[in-house]
Chain A
Amino acid sequence: DIQMTQSPSSLSASVGDRVTITCRASQSISIYLNWYHQKPGKAPKLLIYATSSLQSGVPSRFSASGSGTDFTLSISSLQPEDFATYYCQQSYGAPRTFGQGTKLEI
């Protein structure tokens, strides 16, 4: 199975800050890396797919890049609604493994 490792596990930031979360795959996954965020008590929501494509309706302050094994998600100018847990997921092979999550806190 492809292992996904996110860092950091938690991150403290303030409204207006720029933050970056990284995700590393245990083998090359080409561009098949997706990002989700999840707010307490809610289902995960797709933010970015295929490394850098924004899902419809996702604000442009979210951006992502990478290829192969190393990927990043950046949020410029944090808004209050961005404080959540972020997960990466590879969709290169089965099983569709997730990273352990990064909790973004105020």
Chain B
Amino acid sequence: SQQGEEDPQALSIQEGENATMNCSYKTSINNLQWYRQNSGRGLVHLILIRSNEREKHSGRLRVTLDTSKKSSSLLITASRAADTASYFCATDLDSNYQLIWGAGTKLIIKP
């Protein structure tokens, strides 16, 4: 079963523009993580935000978390061609031993 759902499913923007992806989830969480996947290969961890945090930054990435709305957003500023990838949100559950993933947002950066 999927806990997170990303929105939009696909996003195509011009290089230099900002990209925003959203994630909604269903149950209470301890943390939410964002990962990037290039061309169906391994996943790369981007940011982990805990349930008591509202915003986190890492370089050109900004993640927000709204636990009252059970949603998170990932903002990539000043996008580059290398940002072209699929982006996934993943949440833990009370069991704590597994990550539950959404279906991902496919981001294409046009030169």
A and B interact: no
